[in-house]
Structure formats: structure tokens, C-alpha cells
A and B are shown apart, each in its own frame.
Chain A
Amino acid sequence: MSGASEPVTATRRRVVVTGVGLRSPAGNDVDTMWSTLLEGRAMAAPIEAWSTAEHPVKYACEVRDFDPVERFGHKEARRIDRAGQLGVAAAGDAVISAFGEGGPIGAGIDPARCGVVGGTGIGGLATLEEQIGVYLERGPTRVSPLLVPMMMANATAGLIGIEWRLNGPNLCVATACAAGSNSIGEAARLVREGAADVMVAGGTEASITPVATAAFWRMGALTSNPDPLVASRPFDAARDGFVMGEGAAFLVLEDREAALARGATIWGEILGYGRTCDAYHITAPPDGGAGAAACMLAALDDAGLEPAAVGHVNAHGTSTPLNDAAEAAAVTKVFGPRGVPVTSAKGVTGHLVGAAGAVEAVASLLALRHGQVPPTANYEAAEEGVEIDVVAGAPRPLAAAPVVSNSFGFGGHNATLVLGAA
């Protein structure tokens, strides 16, 4: 085993998940998302947020049936970028599922012991793009006074703190596509270390904007498959890029003893967390996925588990040629050839960038709760010589063994969570 974390001791606090909330292309509540994942139904569809008539990218995985005015009221809705709206809504559901409408304070918990880690790849990008247009067309006096609080990456974390009056640690992690997993992992460490008793942690992203979509397309990261329903196909030999996604998911993390004492519903446990950096290239992983393998091993070491104890891997599995090849190699290195079942939610959800790891942590907890691994949508066969066991076609029954959930971001950021059953 690699990694150098403190040994697992009897005194180390255990961190459990007591609340879950999300807004995703596969549904805006856990039950809807779970049934969509089990069906392996690709959610990519023509973009509704803006006209794609002059744009090379025509489809994405958008969040539907989300009315920000209904959630926030007229005044607040227009002061929060979509990234913040999705994140605060998801976090609100998580907090209410853990504590009821009164939140942690209503449950008698000291707000100074409660905090937030809110991850995102980019932040309030739609607002920034719109206001740059205003500046270029009409000059500096027409720029909105709300631009800074709407665009800043940390807005979601701040807003969640404001909504629930949480005075403890409040941080934003911006590690691109690893941000969701990093946020949950760092928050779990804060609870474990005793810096907080309750953490609201997850990620949000709303970057299906005209400019960002063009930018991802220009760098060759997006699929050019004309059929949205088969375009996102993680680990499949015919994959050619990812489908843009948006959404948010947040968890409530608590010290296990305190959660049990107050009779909380326990969704599962954060058993371990690893984070490494490829230190190699700003967007590409190294051949063989050395950084990803080291990250999984660090997370398993942190959990005090051998690879053989893992029930399945919830892969980053973006459907890009490079990511999936490196991740497959890394999984094979850690678990052996066809040594563990692997699934990716991104065939269904597309790539939610800074929210991906958080949505997939929820999917992992749901897999443990229901005893099933959802299939990888659109997977047919890997390339010759790639020896991973991809769950595809139908859900696969699962013993309640720990899940390894991977996220890897541009910049070379790797984050792995090990989640256990309640």
C-alpha cells in the first residue's frame, strides 16, 4: 500500500452521511436519479438554455424542471447564478433530510461546529459571460453590481452558510472535475479531525454556456457523435469524448457517535479519502494512470482496506479516450485484471465537472443501500487488451462491500472516496 496517513485507531472519529440532496440531469431527487441510473438511460438532449443554431455543439445533459424563482423568490433568484441556485437547492434538500426544516440549529447543534465545503470547476460562468457582453457593448457603467458575488467560485459555499446560519469552516475547492470528491473528502477530514461536527459538502456546476461549451469543444474534449443517446459511452472502444452536464449534489457529514445519539438516518460512511496529483500535464493523464492508481491506493490505505475488500468502483469514466484508458489501466493496476466490477454514471448523466464526484458519491451510497450496481450506459466492449469488468446492460447485484469512487480533474488532480454501507 502507498500513502502516508495516520493509522486507523480506535479513537479516530468515524464520519457518516446523514443527508443527501441533488439536482441532476437524471432527476432532482435521489429516487428519480436512482431509477434513471438503473435503466441506464442517457439523458443527453438538445440544449434548451440557449440557441445552438450557430454553435457546433447541439446537445448536453441539462437539469430540467428546476424553477429558481419558486425556490428562492424573485429577488434572490436574480442575484444568484445558476451554479449557486443548483448548489444551494441541492444542499438545502440534504440539510432538510438530515435535520428537518430547522437545519442543524433547529436540531440543537452549535452553528460554530457546522460548516460547508462547496466545490465547483468554474463558478458563476453564465453571469460572467453575460456581463462581459454588457461591458463590451455598453461600457463599464452598465456592468451589474451583482457580477462579483454571482460569478465567484465560492458563492455557493457562502450562500449555503448564510441559508442555514453555519458559522464553522466554510471553504471552496476548485479542482476542476475532481472538485466534488475533493470537497466531500476534505469535509470528512474536518469532521474526523474534530474541526467540525457537521459539514455540508458537495459540488455544483452550471457551465453549459455558449463560450464554455465552445471551449471544451475546441480542446477536443467533447464527443462529436451525432446521436445524443449513444454519445456518452464510458470505457467503450467507440467513445470519442464527453457530453457536457450540469447539476449539483451535497451530502451532510457528521461524527458517527453524534449522529447515532440523535437518532439520525445513516446513509453510509466515508471510510477513506485519497488525493494525489499527476504532476504531469495540465489536461492529459499519464499513460498507465499512475496518479489515479496512487490515489485509489491512498484512499484504501486511509480506510484500512485491501483492494480485495472493495465491492465495486464508481469510475470517473468520462467517455474521453484518454481518461478512460488511463483509469482502466489504473484500476487494473490496483485490483488486477477484471478484478473488480466498474461502473460509470456519465453514460447517463454526462459530465457534471465540479459536481460529478458529488453526484457519483450519492450514486455509490444508493448502490450500497439497494444492493445493486447500475449499468454503464452505452458500453458495448472495451478495446483489445483492456481488462476491466464494466457493469453494462443491466444492474448487477452487489454485496454491501465498500465502493471506491474516483474523480480526476484537469490540472492533474485526483480524488478518491471510499464509501461504506450504513
Chain B
Amino acid sequence: MNRDQVLEVLSEAIVSVIGCDPAAVTPEAHLADDLEADSLALVEVIMAVEDKLDITVPEEELKDVRTVGDALDVLQGKLPASP
């Protein structure tokens, strides 16, 4: 799974939890400032992605996540390396 495909899954989860415009979900977007996603929303988003990708992300790995790109980095680290 490449980064764009993971972004697509993540974006879908963010939109379902936050109800924001899908176009606003870019790797640069700041979760709290741009998307108004607090820490509870992030946990919900990650739960949805875990279900979709069949992975597990420990809570402590989310503590430094500030942007969509940061979340992408954490998620990609849980997936098998893609070509």
C-alpha cells in the first residue's frame, strides 16, 4: 500500500469523524488548527483506520501527531513495506 492509498483511507476516516470537506485533508493540514480535530477525535479516526487496514496503533505513538502527515507516518510504519 503506497502513501497515497493510506492517505485515502485516513482521509475517509477523518471525514466520517469530523464531517469536514475532503479537500481540506492534506498531509500538511494541522489536525487541531485546520481540521478542529481534538485528541478524542484522533483516537476515533485511528480506530476507524485500524479496522479498515487490520493494524494496531498503540496510543502512545499518537502523542506527537500534529498533522495529517504525522499520522500517515505512524500508519505507514505499521504496514508491510510497499514497492
Q: What 1/0 mask marks residues of chain B from 30 to 68 whose CB sits below 8 Å from any chain A CB?
A: 000000100011011001000000001000000000000
Report whether A145 and B44 are in contact in the complex, using a CB–CB cutoff of 8 Å: yes
Report whether B44 and A144 are in contact in the complex, using a CB–CB cutoff of 8 Å: yes
Report whether A75 and B47 are in contact in the complex, using a CB–CB cutoff of 8 Å: no
Determine the chain B residues whose CB is within 8 A of the CB of A144 once the complex forms: 44, 47
Report whether A75 and B40 are in contact in the complex, using a CB–CB cutoff of 8 Å: no
A394 within 8 A of B: no
Residue of B nearest to A79 (CB): B40
Within 8 A of B (CB), among A122-169: 141-142, 144-146, 149
B28 → A minimal CB distance (Å)? 21
A385 within 8 A of B: no
Determine the chain B residues whose CB is within 8 A of the CB of A142 once the complex forms: 47
Determine the chain A residues whose CB is within 8 A of the CB of B83 once the complex forms: none
Report whether B44 and A75 are in contact in the complex, using a CB–CB cutoff of 8 Å: no
B77 → A minimal CB distance (Å)? 18
Report whether B44 and A146 are in contact in the complex, using a CB–CB cutoff of 8 Å: yes
B18 within 8 A of A: yes
Report whether B43 and A75 are in contact in the complex, using a CB–CB cutoff of 8 Å: no
Among A142, A145, A149: residue with most chain B CB under 10 A: A145
Determine the chain B residues whose CB is within 8 A of the CB of A79 once the complex forms: 40
What bracket does the count of chain A residues touching chain B fall in? 10 to 19
**Chain B at the A interface: mostly helix, strand, loop or mixed?**
helix
What bracket does the count of chain B residues touching chain A fall in? 10 to 19
Assembly CA distance A74 to B41 (angstroms): 13
B19 within 8 A of A: yes
Determine the chain A residues whose CB is within 8 A of the CB of B19 once the complex forms: 73-75
Report whether B40 and A146 are in contact in the complex, using a CB–CB cutoff of 8 Å: yes
Q: Decide: A75 near B56, CB < 8 A? Known: A142-B47, A146-B40.
A: no
B17 within 8 A of A: yes
Determine the chain B residues whose CB is within 8 A of the CB of A145 once the complex forms: 40, 43-44, 47
Assembly CA distance A141 to B48 (angstroms): 12
Assembly CA distance A79 to B19 (angstroms): 12
Q: What 1/0 mask marks residues of chain A from 71 to 100 whose CB sits below 8 Å from any chain B CB?
A: 001110011000000000000000000000
A132 → B minimal CB distance (Å)? 17
Assembly CA distance A149 to B41 (angstroms): 13
Interface residue ranges, A against B (CB under 8 Å): 73-75, 78-79, 141-142, 144-146, 149
19 further A-B contacts with Cβ under 8 Å, apart from A75-B20, A144-B44, A145-B43, are: A73-B19, A74-B18, A74-B19, A75-B17, A75-B18, A75-B19, A75-B36, A75-B41, A78-B17, A79-B40, A141-B56, A142-B47, A144-B47, A145-B40, A145-B44, A145-B47, A146-B40, A146-B44, A149-B40
Pairs across A and B, CB under 8 Å, 11 listed: A73-B19, A74-B18, A75-B17, A75-B20, A75-B41, A142-B47, A144-B44, A144-B47, A145-B44, A145-B47, A149-B40
Interface residue ranges, B against A (CB under 8 Å): 17-20, 36, 40-41, 43-44, 47, 56
